[in-house]
Structure 1
Amino acid sequence: MDIAASLLVSAFISLVCSQGYALSWNYYAKTCPGVETAIRKVVQDAATRDKTIPAALLRMHFHDCLIRGCDASVLLNSQGKNTAEKDGAPNQSLHAFFVIDDAKEAVEALCPGIVSCADILAIAARDAVVLSGGPYWTVPHGRKDGRISKASETSQMPSPTFNISQLQQSFSPMGLSMEDVAALLGAHTIGFSHCSSFENRIYNFNTTNDVDPTLHPSFAESLKNICPKDNKAKNAGTSMDPSPTTFDNTYYKLILQKRSLFSSDQALLASPNTKSLVYKFASSKHSFYKAFSSSMTKLSSLTGGQEVRKDCRVVN
Structure 2
Amino acid sequence: MAGVAAKGDARGIAGQTESADQRLWRWLTLAPALVMLLALSIIPLVGLVLTSFQNVAWAEGRAVRSWAGLDHYRALFSDALFGAGLWNTGLFALGAVTGQMLLGFSLALLVSKVSRARVLYRTIFILPILIPGIVIGAIWKLMLNFDFGLANQILGLVGLGPVDWLGDGRIALLSVIMVDIWHWTPFCFLLFLAGLESLPQDVYEATKIDGANAWQELLYVTLPLMVPTIVVTFAFRLVLAFKVFDEVYLLTKGGPGTATEVISFTLYQRFFTEDKAGYGSAMSVTVIFLVCLLLVVALSARRRSEGRA
Could you say which structure has the larger radius of gyration? 2
Same fold (TM over 0.5): no
Band of TM-score, shorter chain: under 0.3
Higher helix share: 2
TM-score by length of 2: 0.26
